[in-house]
Structure 1
Amino acid sequence: MAVLLGTDIPVRPRTTDDEAVTPAAAATHRPVTGSIHSWDLSTGVDGPGSRFVTFLAGCPLSCLYCHNPDTWRMRDGRRTTADAVIAEAAKYTKFISAAGGGATVSGGEPLLQPVFTGELLHRLKHELGLHTALDTSGFLGARATDALLRDVDLVLLDIKSWDPDTYRTVTGRPLRPTLDFARRLAALGQETWVRFVLVPGLTDDPANIEGVARFAASLGNISRVDVLPFHKLGEAKWDALGKEFTLRGTPSPTPGQVAAAKEIFAAQGLKAV
């Protein structure tokens, strides 16, 4: 039930994301603003339980299978305040808490707007008392301060491939920043779920999957791995944006292929779902 931000949401004096603003800055500074694509209520796909999910606009990656290519450019989002997001999330706190859920900041890539993301996470956790999750590719992990991560209960980390060449083919970016961020999360003892998209003919080589599995198992902080079957639900968005969807002829993986990938992760002692 995606709820796009409407024009009735107040836009206050702009605070750019390169300003030095501390958590809960709204109490002592101009209201913190960011570029948002939408918000949504979801169950089971953006962290545990029912969750209020804020999708930020802008992403440095250009994944071949992205189902939301309309989130890639920050300027295509709607500028709004952290106050407005918190006010919207507050409407659902009783329901979310009863359902054992929380709030997730996703994208796009939320760490493209680290100040806004940090403000949201801090207030969702400390004002609304919600379990918080950060959904990220890790490519911009260096932008996540320790203070921001202290307000995160769970990181959803996308590791899209172990093979560096395949990773660059999929995303247009290098793999190393994601691995560096994963190691940093491990050093901090930050609970993390790894998310891996299984794409036939692209990421499904057993050696590639085993590489991700061995790395994840070595970290010690990975409590779950989500093996996500490739789908083409975003194909219409690519067409509407005039972008070439190069995976148009790629099939979704069969249940057997998904099960085989999960077994590779399980063999490394990881919980794969």
Structure 2
Amino acid sequence: MPEPAVPAHLPSRSALAATPAAARRPVGGMLHSWDLSTGVDGPGTRFVAFLSGCPLRCLYCHNPDTWRLRDGQRVAADEILREAAKYVEFIHASGGGATISGGEPLLQPVLTGELLHRFKHELGLHTALDTSGFLGSRATDALLADTDLVLLDIKSWDRALYRHLTGQQLAPTLNFARRLADLGKEVWVRFVLVPGLTDPIENVEGVAAFTASLGNVTRVDVLPFHKLGMEKWRALGLECTLADTPLPTGDQTDEARAVFAAHGLHAV
């Protein structure tokens, strides 16, 4: 089988393997934080590395302190691996793994690819990539080969609303979703239900129909809008335009899940 394609400016995997470890240039980048989580960042208990930097400015973002690269801490991939290695036995016992999140991890594709590769091949962990898909073109085939699961945020089907919610265009996310489908890569889609914004039935229906057309989505997380990050917005001096937006009711959330289920999708 031919080696997966990588950008011309990066060494191939075979070239790396032939290079003595001491001679390799250390891979590093900007890390916001890391955590152990259960149930929300992929299956089982997971070591989650939150990388700094994001090109989106989501109105409901609960981690606006991850938006800027410079606000992270510069670390080497080796440091993150050493931290994750402390929990490998516990993670394996739970059927978990490691997730690269953010921010937007594909803003730092070299570090993200290095971590996914080493989590998978050195620590033997199931790997997940949590992404908006907006920078999906930066994900090399090699990076995706080292990714067992993609957690893909599809924030709206309505293009104008997507632009309003994020400050960016929807098309790159849809293109990345189709690429993942062509590769047969397992995907969990995430959709945040915001009353008065993302909850119109035609918007939910659009996301559901597109998701069902892909054929590789094994789960849809309908996530009720919450305000847990509002204090961060205020602390950063940012205007939080959704401060007065009501939380979705249980019935509203169930109705959205029912739309996805009607398309044959497993919605939770």
Q: TM-score range by the shorter chain?
A: over 0.9
1:157 aligns with 2:152: yes
- Partner of residue 168, structure 2: 173
- Partner of residue 87, structure 2: 92
TM-score (structure 1 length as normaliser)? 0.92
Q: Deviations over 1:56-99 (max 9, x none)?
A: 00000000000000000001000000000000000000000000
Supply the distance in 1 between the matched residues of 2:192 and 2:24 (Cα, whole angstroms).
40
4+ residue stretches of structure 1 with deviation over 6 A?
none
Aligned counterpart in structure 1 of residue 43 of structure 2, from 40, 48, 51: 48
Q: Secondary structure at the match of 1:60?
A: coil
- Partner of residue 61, structure 2: 66
- Partner of residue 20, structure 1: 10
Q: Deviations over 1:143-162 (max 9, x none)?
A: 00000000000000000000
Q: Deviations over 1:20-66 (max 9, x none)?
A: 25567893521101100000000000000000000000000000000
TM-score (structure 2 length as normaliser)? 0.93
Supply the distance in 1 between the matched residues of 2:11 and 2:221 (Cα, whole angstroms).
34
Supply the distance in 2 between the matched residues of 1:41 and 1:29 (Cα, whole angstroms).
30
Which amino acid counterpart does residue 216 of structure 2 have in structure 1?
N
Aligned counterpart in structure 1 of residue 229 of structure 2, from 221, 227, 234: 234
- Superposed, which structure 2 residues align to 1:217-232 within 5 Å? 217-232=212-227
Sequence identity, in percent?
71
Aligned counterpart in structure 2 of residue 197 of structure 1, from 171, 180, 192: 192
- Superposed, which structure 2 residues align to 1:64-143 within 5 Å? 64-143=59-138
Q: Deviations over 1:113-163 (max 9, x none)?
A: 000000000000000000000000000000000000000000000000000
Supply the distance in 2 between the matched residues of 1:51 and 1:150 (Cα, whole angstroms).
19
Report if the CA contact (8 A) 1:53-1:103 is conserved: yes
Which amino acid counterpart does residue 240 of structure 2 have in structure 1?
F
RMSD between aligned alpha carbons?
Answer: 1.4
Report if the CA contact (8 A) 1:105-1:133 is conserved: yes
Which amino acid counterpart does residue 50 of structure 2 have in structure 1?
F
- Partner of residue 25, structure 2: 30
Aligned length: 256
Aligned counterpart in structure 2 of residue 187 of structure 1, from 165, 182, 188: 182
Q: Secondary structure at the match of 2:124?
A: coil
Which amino acid counterpart does residue 38 of structure 1 have in structure 2?
S
Q: What stretches of structure 1 of length at least 5 have no aligned partner? A: 1-17
Tell which deviates more after alignment, 151-160 or 21-30. Answer: 21-30
Q: What stretches of structure 2 of length at least 5 have no aligned partner? A: 1-7
Supply the distance in 1 between the matched residues of 2:11 and 2:226 (Cα, whole angstroms).
39
